[in-house]
Amino acid sequence: MAFVVVEKGESLENALRRFKRKVQQEAIIKEIKKHSTYFKPGEKRRMKEAQARKRMRRRMKREKSLEY
C-alpha cells in the first residue's frame, strides 16, 4: 500500500504529486484493473499469448533497428 508522509512546510500539491508517482511505480492501478473483471481461463490464455506476440514484435523491431 502506497502512502506519503506530508512533511512540515510541504504543499499539499507536492505531496499529492509524490503519492501519484508512488502509486504509478508500484503499479497499483494496473493491478486493480486486472482484478476488477473475471476472465475465463481460455480468454486469459489468449491475452497472454497476444502479449507474448507483442513483446516478440517489439524485440524484433528493436533488433532490426540495431542492425543498420
- Show me where the domains of the chain are located: 1-37, 38-68
Q: Is the pLDDT of residue 14 over 70?
A: yes
- Smallest Cα–Cα separation from 2: which of 32, 24, 22, 29? 22
List, for residues 33-64, the tens digit of each pLDDT value: 888 889 999 999 999 999 999 999 999 998 88
- Smallest Cα–Cα separation from 16: which of 33, 27, 24, 31? 24
DSSP letters spanning 12-57:
HHHHHHHHHHHHHHTTHHHHHHHHHS---HHHHHHHHHHHHHHHHH
